[in-house]
Amino acid sequence: MVVVPAKMGHLNKRSLLARLQRLGLASRADLAKSLGMSQPTAGKIADELLQLGVLEEVEIGRVERAAPAANRVPRLGRPGRMLRLDRTRPRFLGMQLGVSLTTLAPLPVGAESNDRWTVKFATAVTADKWVGDLQKAAAELTVQDLWGVLVSVPGIVDEPSGRVLFSPNLHWTENMDLPGLIRRVWNAPVMLVQEERALALGHRYANPEEDDFLLVDFGDGVGGAVILGGALSANPLPISGELGHTPVLGNERPCGCGAVGCLETLISTRGLLQSFATAHPRANPAWATLVRFIHERGAEPWLLAALDATAAIIAGSLNVLGLRRAIVTGSLAELPPAVFRHLADAVIRGSLWGRFGQVECAIAPRRRTAGLVAVAIDRLVVPMTEVNGHAAKPRVSMAGHFERPSPFAGHSSP
């Protein structure tokens, strides 16, 4: 295939952005050398991205003064200037549409590793009520000229069409025009991202050396996402990582998906509280009470059984995928360390790789906003979608506004 100049330019921009995401801070010369580009080419790309507001320049001295004294490296001569993803100006609005809570935060291109949500409100049970609450929340945010609204959504999500096909715990979102609802509040492109995929990309953003892992998140449900070779695993259908809807033998609890016996009815926050209430009917069935109870008395048989069932499904997934690293995020991280150790030990015992190699199971914080921004950089800032055989132009204009018209005008996501 012949690479046309426009496409080559996009490839170079994407490569430079990816390298800068990995390095955090670099000079033009460093980027050119590490990418095998000429310095004029790397410099031209950097200057264009600076004009777009995607990158920013910082003085080496300023960065070093902010670093711990032990990490400072003395430099001679005039202060140099380094590049990084712009951390100053909010370009996107990040949103988590959760089962019980909706959270919002203005986000720069250079996202922080840890989530910092600015506005929160209870997720309504109807679309109209949710949009009304969203309009009230928007009044608390001082964001203008957004490049896009990035929405983390639970369930089975067809990201290109901007539709939630099935949501066991949030049925009103199914086949709803969520991007259209959100554009009532903000006139900007809207991108839906399946929540586990956002979490996996966020973990990869904070840990760029980790190229292959299964991320499993616990909360209102149980879901997973796979990173292979540093990228999200692609599937022909928008169904992946639905570990929570794997049936557990002997479990007779009904699930929101319509089946009976799904794992998430045992190990989600709601499932754990149900088991706790059954075992201790006089106790206050609250999450804080459950956490304190386990701290004081340890894990009871009902919890150990749920952990073993969970570990068997995670280990089976690792065996099928050929992976040896599992990352656990969410509510299980709030329980005493002994609970996670039991889960991790059971995962390692059940993983075939553990027979002759090393299997890792680690806890990590949720990094949803970083994952959302990673998607925006890939699909909004410098997309590679082709139109009539040519690479599409960046969707951000030199003035920092969403370019209209564009090949994707009228669509919620590229």
Q: Model confidence over 262-300: pLDDT tens digits?
A: 999 999 999 999 999 999 999 998 999 999 999 999 999
Strands 101-107 and 190-194 turn out to be unpaired
Q: What is the pLDDT of residue 6?
A: 61
Q: What is the pLDDT of residue 384?
A: 61
From the list 200, 192, 124, 130, the residue with the least C-alpha distance to 156 is 192
Count Cβ atoms below 10 Å from residue 65 Cβ, excluding itself: 10
Domain with CATH 1.10.10.10 in the chain: 5-85
In degrees rounded to 5, what are phi and psi of residue 395? -85, 5
- Whether the bond between 405 and the residue before it is cis, its omega within 30 degrees of 0, is yes
Q: What is the pLDDT of residue 113?
A: 85
Candidate CATH numbers 3.40.50.980, 3.30.420.40, 3.30.565.10, 3.40.50.2020; the one for domain 92-198+368-391? 3.30.420.40
Q: What is the pLDDT of residue 73?
A: 43
Q: What is the pLDDT of residue 11?
A: 85
Q: CA-to-CA distance for 351 and 338, rounded, in angstroms?
A: 20
- Copy the structure tokens of residue 341: 């150790």
Q: What is the pLDDT of residue 414?
A: 34
pTM: 0.86
Domain with CATH 3.30.420.40 in the chain: 92-198+368-391, 208-363
Q: Which residues of the chain fall short of a pLDDT of 70?
A: 1-8, 61-80, 384-414
CATH number of 5-85: 1.10.10.10
CATH 3.30.420.40 given to domain 208-363: yes
84, 56 contact by CB (below 8 A): yes
CA distances from 410 to 183, 188, 194, 378, 404 (A): 11, 11, 21, 19, 10
357: exposed, middle or buried (C-beta count within 10 Å: 0-12, 13-18, 19+)?
A: exposed
